[in-house]
Chain A
Amino acid sequence: MTTTASDTLDVSGTPGIPFSRLFRVELRKSADTRAGRWLIGVTIGLCLLAEVIFLIVAATHDDAEASFGDFVAVSAFVSSVLLPVLGIMLVTSEWSQRTAMTTFALEPRRMRIVLAKMLAGMALTLFVIVFALVVGFVCNVLLGAFRPQGSDWTFGFTGFLGFLITQTFAMLGGFALASLLLNTPAAIVVFFAYKWVLPVLLFWGSALMDWFDHLRPWIDFQAAQGELYDLPMTGSQWGHLVVSGIIWLVIPLAIGLWRIRRAEVK
């Protein structure tokens, strides 16, 4: 029998794809499309615009309080609105643009891809926070140059830590909804409802119904996160955060991941 071509695949010389490579590729994919670039550009533009307005107000009103921490907060808040959308698109674009077929053909262990995307989302969160720090620093120096009393370098570290955590939660929340819905517009709309509308509804509910008022702290994830800005928290505040977090973050994420793991990629 001739042995011109083997009938088995020799994979002994092929190592699997290291996770760091998947992570770098996913990070690249978040910014290599027109939609991704626009989103990043608009976020940066809006941050700068907000900072300039804040800077002008602070410089022209002697009684306006503006510290380093305030400047950072302005950028951080503006970017926090749009950033989760980038995280959502990391997941949903694979399905709406049907690139999941290619992605999962190159790495059939789907959960590795999902984890790489999640970490890429968190890396973007970190990047935006560093950006906010730099912009805040520059603006505060500029303000010091305009004002006789100079710059105020007060920086609320606990508030910053709280922001870091809530931002990560926001990114993960967007990620969870994205994997649950696997559709860009739906995930974005539901995310904004989830982040901005739902807390208002819950607040109304507790104002109108007494029994709901007792229940609300346990199911209002956004309110529970609000306490993170005021560390350290009490035991019951932690309890609220964990319970509401399980409802609004852990469960949707678990179902979403289960769905991606099982879904037929079309």
Chain B
Amino acid sequence: MIKVEGLTRAYGSFIAVDDISFECRPGTVTGFLGPNGAGKTTTMRVMVGLTPPTRGDVTIGGLHYQDIPNPGRHVGVLLDASAQHAGRSGREVLEIGARTMGLSSQRVDEMLALVSLDARESKRRVRNYSLGMRQRLGIAHALLGEPTVLILDEPANGLDPAGIRWMRGLLKGYADQGGTVLLSSHLLHEVEQIADEMILIGNGKIVARGTRDELLRSATRGETTTLVTALDNHQLAEALSGKGYEVHQAGDGLRVTAEPVDVGRVAAEKQIVLTDLRAGHEGGLEDLFLELTADTQRDILPNEVSA
């Protein structure tokens, strides 16, 4: 539905987006992941015609954005929740959008209810909104025209945990009804639970893409690790090493290069009481994310990323 082909955007000698291509399919949520300044926002801005591409092409449903009549009715856009007139009330922001698209004020009420902004909040000026409220308002604005495509830049930014869960449900339901969703984030955990496909971008280039499982498989390079905590970690570590498994300290427990079932078997054999035993790839995706985008990270990471 969204098709990016060979997109490049340069600012002088700085290449913000470097020859990227990907597609977002209807009925799916695509997560666009990368650290700050990786080129996510620039890509999304090119999609909706706010930034001209240096090279390459973006089409939505086969059309260039500027050729979509009344585009708000087809593509819902949230690029920056703070980019609203501070002197306007939240309700007025939606009212203007609704009028431009030719929708009734009733639609404004529906959207306010959907994002849980009550009547009193909606009459307050956007200046007095928290980032979370602005984000809700922005999502309401993107959904106003009942679009079939959603392009959201960092929509979870500023939302509280309940808000993030709410948004997940909203977007999931949206995709289940056949909608196409592209959302960006610099936080892996915001995206990995909802995205059907993830695109990792760093330094303007796509560094990895695939479903969560596909990425995980490449993250662990086929190795299986297990995270385990016992009442006596020391004893367990010795027992596991004795069986030839590689053991590392990881937080309160151990990271073992083995299947959980093998670790459990060793513990049972030695009658060691376990308090926690699970597959150890949770951190794998995050490690992969950090590793792939390491060149663009602003912060120097410690060598061992704890689980």
Cα A24 to Cα B86 with chains together (Å): 21
Q: Which residues of B in the span 83-131 have a Cβ within 8 Å of any Cβ on A?
A: 83-88, 92, 96-97, 99-102, 125
Cα A175 to Cα B61 with chains together (Å): 37
Q: Which residues of A in the span 1-33 have a Cβ within 8 Å of any Cβ on B?
A: 4-11, 14-17, 21-22, 24-25, 28-29, 32-33
9-residue interface stretch from A98-106, A240-248, A251-259: A98-106
With CB as the reference atom, state the residue of chain B lying closest to A38. Answer: B87
A265 interfacial by beta-carbon distance below 8 Å? yes
Q: What residues of chain A lie closer than 8 Å to B38, measured between beta carbons? A: none
With CB as the reference atom, state the residue of chain A lying closest to B3. Answer: A7
Knowing A17-B101, A25-B96, A264-B52 touch, does A6 contact B26 (C-beta < 8 A)? Answer: yes
With CB as the reference atom, state the residue of chain A lying closest to B48. Answer: A105
With CB as the reference atom, state the residue of chain A lying closest to B127. Answer: A34
Cα A11 to Cα B52 with chains together (Å): 23
| A15 touching B50, Cβ below 8 Å | no
9-residue interface stretch from B69-77, B166-174, B190-198, B217-225: B69-77
| A107 touching B27, Cβ below 8 Å | no
Of the residues A6, A17, A33, A108, contact of B88 by C-beta under 8 Å:
A33
| A265 touching B100, Cβ below 8 Å | no
Q: What residues of chain A lie closer than 8 Å to B97, measured between beta carbons? A: 102, 106
Knowing A5-B26, A5-B178, A107-B100 touch, does A102 contact B83 (C-beta < 8 A)? Answer: yes
| B69 touching A9, Cβ below 8 Å | no
With CB as the reference atom, state the residue of chain B lying closest to A34. Answer: B87
Knowing A5-B27, A7-B26 touch, does A93 contact B52 (C-beta < 8 A)? Answer: no
Knowing A6-B26, A14-B74, A25-B100 touch, does A98 contact B88 (C-beta < 8 A)? Answer: no
Cα A210 to Cα B12 with chains together (Å): 48
| B99 touching A9, Cβ below 8 Å | no
| B100 touching A21, Cβ below 8 Å | yes
Q: What residues of chain B lie closer than 8 Å to A14, measured between beta carbons? A: 68-70, 73-74
**Binary per-residue interface labels of chain B (33-75) against chain A in the complex, 1 for a CB within 8 Å, 0 otherwise:** 0000000000001001111100000001111011011111110
Least CB distance from B40 to A in Å reads: 15
Cα A104 to Cα B71 with chains together (Å): 10
Q: What residues of chain B lie closer than 8 Å to A265, measured between beta carbons? A: 45, 50-51
Cα A105 to Cα B48 with chains together (Å): 6
Knowing A8-B61, A106-B97 touch, does A35 contact B87 (C-beta < 8 A)? Answer: yes
Knowing A9-B68, A98-B83 touch, does A21 contact B88 (C-beta < 8 A)? Answer: no
* Closest A-B pairs by Cβ, 8 of them: A9-B61, A5-B26, A98-B83, A33-B87, A108-B66, A16-B69, A97-B85, A34-B87
What is the interface of chain B, defined by CB distance below 8 A to chain A? 1, 25-27, 45, 48-52, 60-63, 65-66, 68-74, 77, 79-80, 82-88, 92, 96-97, 99-102, 125, 141, 148-149, 178
